[in-house]
Amino acid sequence: MLSRCLQLRGFMVIHNNFMRQAILEAQQAAREDEVPVGAILVAQNGTVLAKTHNQTIALSDPTAHAEILAIRSAGQALGNFRLLNTTLYVTIEPCIMCMGALLHARVSRIIYGAKDPKWGAAGSCYNLSANPRLNHTIDVQAGILEKECRELIQAFFREKRAG
């Protein structure tokens, strides 16, 4: 039992570390006046394949969400459109578009911070990650550093409404 507790604690430390990197990316997005979402795509061995944040405004591209940019970057780095045995850490629950791309890329796991009650496609509005009609499913874990992730995006929109 103690061994299992230590193992779980170790996983939480790892998850928190990668999510903190995603939060740094989200903070960079906010500094660039982009919606503050950050993503880190990690290989099974712990190698970071991509670190990105939203860039829809900078790139004039509605598909330039952090998750999509991470997939593109990792695919280029690996020379493969299949991102098997990878984990995506993202500050906010992926939207429908991003979930579709993550499913096509065969990402194994998504770990996200805060739910997105308006656009979330990993359990909030939709649950594409576990749809039995699709030929791939993604393991999803929510709530890693949830408070920090939620506060970051809420502060951004609060400032937008005030300004």
11/103 Cα distance (integer angstroms): 24
Could you give the C-alpha distances from 125 to 78, 103, 141, 159, in angstroms and in order? 32, 17, 16, 26
Q: pLDDT for 96-128, tens place per residue?
A: 999 999 999 999 999 999 999 999 999 999 999
- Quick one: pLDDT band at residue 2, thresholds 50, 70, 90? very low
- Strand runs labelled E in 54-156: 86-92, 109-114, 139-142
Determine which one of 25, 67, 93, 151 is catalytic. Answer: 67
**pLDDT given for residue 6 in this prediction:** 37
Strand order in the sheet with 109-114: 48-53, 38-43, 86-92, 109-114, 139-142
> Does the structure show a pLDDT above 90 at 69?
yes
Q: Is 67 a catalytic residue?
A: yes
User: pTM for this one?
Assistant: 0.92
**pLDDT given for residue 3 in this prediction:** 46
